[in-house]
Amino acid sequence: MGAATRERIIEAGSILFRRQGYAGTGMKAIAAAAQAPFGSIYHFFPGGKDELTGEVIRAAGRVYGALVPRFFDGAPDTAVATRCAFRGAAETLRDCNYADACPIAAVALEVASTNEPLRLATAEVFAHWVGGLTARYEGAGLAPAVAHRLAVSFVSMLEGAFVLARASKNAQVVEDAGEIMFEAVRAALDKAAE
Amino acid sequence: MGAATRERIIEAGSILFRRQGYAGTGMKAIAAAAQAPFGSIYHFFPGGKDELTGEVIRAAGRVYGALVPRFFDGAPDTAVATRCAFRGAAETLRDCNYADACPIAAVALEVASTNEPLRLATAEVFAHWVGGLTARYEGAGLAPAVAHRLAVSFVSMLEGAFVLARASKNAQVVEDAGEIMFEAVRAALDKAAE
DNA sequence: GATTAGCTAGAACGTTCTATCAAATGCTGA
DNA sequence: TCAGCATTTGATAGAACGTTCTAGCTAATC
């Protein structure tokens, strides 16, 4: 009962934040999207919108963090995995008609200067994501500094490509960005193999 | 008189949108930041918040568009110009304690699915920016498709790096991303020179 | 059966939002 | 100096916001 309602609220928040941002999404809209009674929001999240948003960020972070193993585990190498991740993201974006990208970036830009606990929550998710990617690139033989730089760039490039793709309603942006990241990883791997 | 007030309002909107986003910024806050009487907002922008936001986006687009000649005109080559642009951006971000990045991305993520005229305005600015960069990379001898891909990636990478840098309050992200873009442009130039 | 805890349900509250409006003030040109 | 236009001024209205509150229902436990 309750657990299902709570999860539905988090998921609805995630969807709406990514489509219309944090401040542009009201609690009543989240309740409606979750098909939950309005009072249940504060029952499950007594800390209010901030607490719900923190949970949304952490939950989204787990989903995005799981994308690394999904693309990197079976790939011939990390350059190909990188490209596949971007292609997968482009496909997902097309499938939802550019409505859904990443709720974390949307929230991050709004709260970075105004809500310290939420800024920290977004920073933590990004750091975790970068950490997972860095490990993969290191595991492929790249020096820690190079691996870290590529990981940071992967996340930056993908989040930025989402912005452009959503603005222009064109997923080719994400694929183009993926090609550049593919070549960057490819070049780093080749250089490390010398 | 009036022209100065109008410009102050646009500038205040730009600053506040980049710090707290579109929906999180109220018109009274803009008026206060602009030191303008509240009613003047609707006098100058009878279309309301949407009209003001459109003007903010276009004005910011002009500022950002001017960054391309600023970094590319005097640089030894486009790879170095690319790196310098990212370093300049990192510096700017540090100077304002991570408060001010780009108002266009902040607005774009909020309006992409909910406000078509503003989505188009953001798309237009990004397209113009990408166009300017593409011309620079083409002018350096790169094939049109490669130039376009690098330009798209430049803008994506920079906007994404802003997200991460603001979330983590660490401008090193922007510099790392700039190194990857530098190497990508370098490699493309070297390949085109063969 | 009585009690308790969890969840649902939605009204009410105070605040903030966007937009409108009428009046006042200032500036310019005839 | 005066009229007309531009700009300023700030109160007001209605809607939406996040939060709180009360009441009711259900299931589990004693």
pLDDT score of B98 more than 90: no
Point out the nucleotide closest to A5 (alpha carbon to C1′): C7
Range A143-159 average pLDDT: 98
How much is the average pLDDT of A49-54?
Answer: 95
- Report the nucleotide nearest the CA of residue B4, measured to C1': D7
Q: What is the pLDDT of residue A87?
A: 96
CA distances from B86 to A78, A178, B111, B171 (A): 25, 19, 26, 10
Mean model confidence pLDDT for chain A: 94
In the predicted structure, residue B2 carries a pLDDT above the cut 80? no
Whether B22 shows a pLDDT value over 80: the answer reads yes
Look at residue A1 and tell me whether its pLDDT is greater than 70: no
| Confidence at B187, pLDDT banded by 50, 70, 90 | very high
Residues of B in contact with A179 (CB under 8 A): 149
For chain B, the average pLDDT equals 94
pLDDT for the residue B4: 85
DSSP code, position A77: S
Count of H-run helices and E-run strands, chain A: 10, 0
Confidence of residue A194 (pLDDT cuts 50, 70, 90): confident
Q: What pLDDT sits at residue B1?
A: 52
Q: Does residue A170 lie within 7 Å of nucleic acid chain C, judged by its CB?
A: no
CB atoms within 10 A of CB A97: 9
Please indicate whether, in this complex, the C-beta atoms of A24 and B22 are within 8 angstroms of each other. yes
Closest A-chain CA to B166: A112
Chain A residues 2-31 within 7 Å (CB) of strand C: 2-3, 5
What's the confidence (pLDDT) of residue A12?
A: 94
Residue A2 has a pLDDT of 64
* pLDDT category of residue B3 using cuts at 50, 70 and 90: confident
For chain A, what is the radius of gyration of the CA atoms? 18
Separation in Å: D28 C1' and A47 CA: 27
Quote the pLDDT of residue B101: 84
Q: Is residue A156 pLDDT above 60, yes or no?
A: yes
B164 and A184 in contact by Cβ < 8 A? Answer: no
Nearest to B109 among A114, A163, A179 (CB): A163
Report the pLDDT value the prediction gives residue A89, as an integer from 0 to 100.
95
A25 CB closer than 7 A to any strand D atom: yes
Q: Considering only A63-77, A158-172, A176-190, B165-179, which range has the smallest mean pLDDT?
A: A63-77
Q: What SS3 string covers B97-126?
A: CCCCCCHHHHHHHHHCCCCHHHHHHHHHHH
Kindly list the structural domains of chain B, giving each domain's residue range(s) and its CATH number in brackets, ordered by start: 2-49 (1.10.10.60), 59-193 (1.10.357.10)
Q: How many CB pairs (< 8 A) connect A and B? A: 180
The answer to which of A85-99, B137-151, B156-170 has the lowest mean pLDDT is A85-99
Residue nearest to nucleotide C9 (CA to C1'): A37
Residue with smallest Cα–C1' gap to C21:
B39
Report the distance from CA of residue B141 to the C1' of nucleotide D30 in Å, as an integer.
Answer: 84
C-alpha dist (Å) from residue B189 to A162, A178, B73, B150: 27, 19, 17, 11
Per-residue pLDDT of B105-134, as tens digits, reads 999 999 999 999 999 999 999 999 999 999
C1’ C6 / CA A31, Å: 18
**Chain B residues close to A19, C-beta within 8 Å:** 112-114
